[in-house]
Amino acid sequence: MEVLTHPKIVHKNGHEYWEGKYRICSKCIYNDKIPAITFDENGECTYCRMVEDLAEQYKTGTPEGEAEWLRIVEQIKKAGKNKKYDCVIGVSGGTDSSYMVAKAIDWGLRPLAVHYDNTWNTAIATENIRKVLQKLNVDLYTHVVNNKEADDIIRSFFKASVPDLDCATDIALAETLYRAASKYGVKYILEGHSFITEGVSPLGTLYMDGKYISSIHKKFGSMKMDSYPNMPFWTFMKWIIFKRIKKVRPLWYIDYNKEDARAWLEKEFDWQYYGGHHLENRITAVHHSFYNPVKFGVDNRNNTLSAKARAGLMTREEALEEYSTKPHMESDLIEYFKKRLELPDEEFDEILKQPLKSFRDYPTYKKRFELLRPMFYILAKAHLVPMSFYLKYCFPLGEKKTNK
């Protein structure tokens, strides 16, 4: 199968359309194929508005935003007094997380780096983690899953025909971070997420929760879930309500330029770039560069490219031009995927052709998150869950979202 191409925009009835039929935002490159998208009188989309609202609320990149972040740093130091570490930071070997560890040291914090090894790491990622942590003298806590079990879960998601092929890695990282924090009595998790450089990924293109993972694995898997660190609802509640472990995102407050950060990492740590957002891990690379574009016609590069257009780091035309190139992928990646998952060509092609499904077709916690929306709003305000969790998980699709 061929990877989709993305023709230029055409003008029709005073609006702009992609492929001649999908209306496109006047500020970023999102179009109305994206779930829950609407356009305002200026033609700007829901997600541009969401990012604008967040920037206003967090005063991102302004002196007030920076001052607010430094106040949080003082709280982190206070909460971590007399403990070996005062925060934990998930590391993947990618730009944002590597930068986060280095910045934490600058702020005078004592981080413990945490890595969830899904056994699909690229050699570059493993080396990047080692180089940065060694130079900064930061300890590493790692959870390695049994590789057969990891593959069984990935194969289950592939067979389930849902777009969230690799969401098991994200849930496992979240759980590993909580376990590490709990083990050392740490109250703060620093996350390297930036809504300015990544946007807020639209619901419907990526969903994850602990029940989604166990229900799909139960239906399509063949091994017992044993070494995989899943996060059922009550475990999630234990971490946020009883242990009160907070998640904070420094890049929501401070000025952050990803290209500058990358250049700085290369210079300071002999750190190496791996070719694109999320490509430091082989399974995330399959997910973003092959599986989603080919099976779902969804190319997740539109998140970072839209973010760049929004932030004025590239023009919308430049973003569309880059979007129309084929996603970067190692040449033998798909062969590696088939071989590891023991999927003969015929079976692989057949599964790929099966009808599209989504998280709505399997048991998840989505309805429960919606019912508990007021509670999650309070938890988000107290930094116990990210505000983006509240906005993405606690509203039914299509309902107007507000963080006010």
Q: Point out which residues bind Zn ion (CB under 5 A).
A: 25, 27-28, 30, 45, 48
What is the smallest separation between the CB atom of 44 and Zn ion, expressed in angstroms? 6
What is the smallest separation between the CB atom of 297 and Zn ion, expressed in angstroms? 19
Structure tokens given for 262:
């990358």
Which helix (H) or strand (E) element contains residue 374? helix 373-381
Name the residue nearer to Zn ion (CB basis): 45 or 76. 45
Burial class from Cβ neighbours inside 10 Å (0-12, 13-18, 19+) for residue 332 reads: exposed
What is the smallest separation between the CB atom of 52 and Zn ion, expressed in angstroms? 10
Which helix (H) or strand (E) element contains residue 247? strand 246-248
Name the residue nearer to Zn ion (CB basis): 29 or 101. 29
Residue 29 neighbours by CB distance under 10 Å: 25
Residues 316 and 25: their CA atoms lie apart, in Å, by: 10
What is the smallest separation between the CB atom of 240 and Zn ion, expressed in angstroms? 31
Name the residue nearer to Zn ion (CB basis): 118 or 304. 304
Residue 323 neighbours by CB distance under 10 Å: 17
Phi, psi angles (nearest 5°) of residue 116: -100, 115
Q: In this structure, are residues 110 and 73 in contact, taking their beta carbons and an 8 Å threshold? A: no
Name the residue nearer to Zn ion (CB basis): 38 or 402. 38
Name the residue nearer to Zn ion (CB basis): 181 or 206. 206
Q: Which residue is at the shortest CB distance from Zn ion?
A: 25
What is the smallest separation between the CB atom of 83 and Zn ion, expressed in angstroms? 43
What is the smallest separation between the CB atom of 47 and Zn ion, expressed in angstroms? 5
Name the residue nearer to Zn ion (CB basis): 16 or 191. 16
What is the smallest separation between the CB atom of 46 and Zn ion, expressed in angstroms? 8
Partners of 24 in beta bridges = 31
Name the residue nearer to Zn ion (CB basis): 30 or 120. 30
Residues 140 and 133: their CA atoms lie apart, in Å, by: 8
Helix (H, G, I), strand (E, B), or coil: what is residue 113? strand
Q: In this structure, are residues 210 and 232 in contact, taking their beta carbons and an 8 Å threshold? A: yes
